Structure 1
Amino acid sequence: KLRKITEDGVTFKSHIDGRKFNLTPERSMEIQHLLGSTITMAFDECTPFPATEQQARESMQMSMRWAKRSKDAFVEREGYALYGIQQGSVFENLRRESSEKLTELDLPGHSVGGLAVGEGQQIMFDTLDFCVDMLPANKPRYLMGVGKPSDLVGAVMRGIDQLDCVLPTRSGRNAQAFTHHGTLNLKNGRHRDDDRPLDNQCGCPACTKYSRAYLHHLIKSGEMLGAMLLTWHNLAYYQDLMRGMREAISEGRMDAFARDFQAGQEGGDIDPVPIIED
Structure 2
Amino acid sequence: MFSFRLQSTDDLARRGTITTPHGLIETPIFMPVGTQGTVKGITPEQLKGINAQIILGNTYHLALRPGDELVAELGGLHKFMAWDGPILTDSGGFQVFSLAEIRKITDDGVKFRSHIDGRLLELTPEKAVKIQENLGSDIAMVLDECPPADADEKHIRRAINRTLMWAERCRNAHTRPDQVLFAIVQGGVHVNLRAECAKPLTDMDFPGYALGGFSVGEGPEVMHALLPPCAALLPEHKPRYLMGVGRPEDLLAGVAAGIDMFDCVMPTRNGRNSFAFTGEGTLRMRNSCHRRDSRPLESDCPCYTCVHFSRAYLHHLFHSKEMLGPTLLSLHNLAYYLRLMASARSAIENRTFAAFHRDCLARWKRPT
TM-score (norm 1): 0.94
Partner of 2:148: 48
Q: Partner of 1:182 in structure 2?
A: 281
What one-letter code is carried by the residue in structure 2 that aligns with 1:21?
L
CA distance in 1, matches of 2:254, 2:300: 23
1:186 and 1:243 map into 2 onto residues whose CA distance is 26
Other-structure match for 1:251: 350
Q: Which residue of 2 aligns with 1:207?
A: 306
Question: What do the CA deviations read for 1:180-238 (whole angstroms, capped 9, x no partner)?
Answer: 01011101001011111111121111111111001000011100001110001001001
Moved over 6 A (4+): none
CA distance in 2, matches of 1:51, 1:89: 8
For 2:195 and 2:274, locate their aligned partners in 1 and report how far apart those are by CA, in whole Å.
41
Is 2:164 the partner of 1:164? Answer: no
Q: Which runs of 5+ in 1 are unaligned?
A: 270-278
Equivalent position SS for 1:134: coil
The AA in structure 2 aligned to 1:26 is E
* Mapping of residues 1-278 of structure 1, within 5 Å: 1-78=101-178, 80-269=179-368
- Aligned-partner SS, 2:131: helix
**1:2–1:15 contact (8 Å) kept in structure 2:** no
Deviation string for 1:158-180 (max 9, x for gaps)?
11000011111111111010000
What are the Cα deviations for residues 69-103 of structure 1, in whole angstroms up to 9, with x where unaligned? 0100111414x211000000011111001110111
Distance across 2 between alignment mates of 1:206 and 1:60:
44
Check conservation: 1:169, 1:231, Cα contact below 8 A: yes
Once the two structures are TM-superposed, the CA of residue 15 in structure 1 deviates from its matched residue by 2.9
Which structure is higher in strand share? Answer: 2
SS in 1 for 2:305: helix
The structure that is helix-richer by fraction is 1
Checking the alignment, whether the CA contact within 8 Å between 2:149 and 2:216 is kept in structure 1 is yes
Deviation at 1:115, TM superposition (A): 0.4
- Write the distance in 2 (CA, Å) between the matches of 1:81 and 1:268: 44
Once the two structures are superposed, residues 44-79 of structure 1 have per-residue CA deviations (whole angstroms, 9 ceiling, x without a partner) of 01111111111111111110110000100111414x
Give the share of equivalent positions with the same residue, in percent.
Answer: 50
**Is the Cα–Cα contact under 8 Å of residues 180 and 201 in structure 1 kept in the other structure?**
no
| Structure having greater relative contact order (Cα 8 Å, sep ≥ 6) | 2
Question: For residues 87 and 45 of structure 1, what CA distance do their matches in structure 2 show?
Answer: 8
Q: Distance in 2 between matches of 1:39 and 1:47?
A: 23
Count the aligned residue pairs.
268
> Secondary structure at 2:232's aligned position in 1?
helix
Report the TM-score when normalising by structure 2.
Answer: 0.72
Contact (CA 8 Å) 2:109, 2:124: kept in 1 or not?
yes
Which whole-Å CA distance do the structure 1 matches of 2:115 and 2:173 have between them?
Answer: 29
Aligned-CA RMSD value: 1.0
